[in-house]
Amino acid sequence: MDVRRLMIADGSDVVRKVGKRILSGMGFLVSEAQSSLEALVRCEAELPNILIVDAGLDGALDLIGNIRRLPEGASVRIYYCVVQADLKKMMAGKRAGADDFLLKPFDRKILTSVFAGQSMAA
């Protein structure tokens, strides 16, 4: 059983810290990126199993597309993080290659319901 790697790409220190605290507590190995470029560079070095991308991040859609073009990029489960259920944004995220969506601000309950049981690779 491998621990699953999860990356949070978000411009907000607070969001990353809260997410990291909750998800680390669930057994994920969590890394952080505060820009699309940093996220891409880190993903090129070591691809996470799960990537949470904030829709408000500059270049968020490009980041998703770039991850998908990496050699193993298709295997990453990408969550596109939106502030409200904004259909236009969500469709853009889907077209870029996101698998699923997360609503912000996320809290322990939301993260637990979405990611429970995903922290270990079977």
- Cβ atoms of 62 and 19 within 8 Å: the answer is no
Provide the token pair at 27: 């057994």
Confidence (pTM)? 0.93
Give the percent of the chain with pLDDT over 90.
Answer: 83
- Cβ atoms of 100 and 77 within 8 Å: the answer is yes
The three-state secondary structure class of 9 is strand
DSSP 96: H
Q: What is the rounded average pLDDT of the residues 37-62? A: 97
C-alpha–C-alpha distance, residues 82 and 30, integer Å: 20
Nearest to 107 by CA among 14, 39, 10, 30: 14
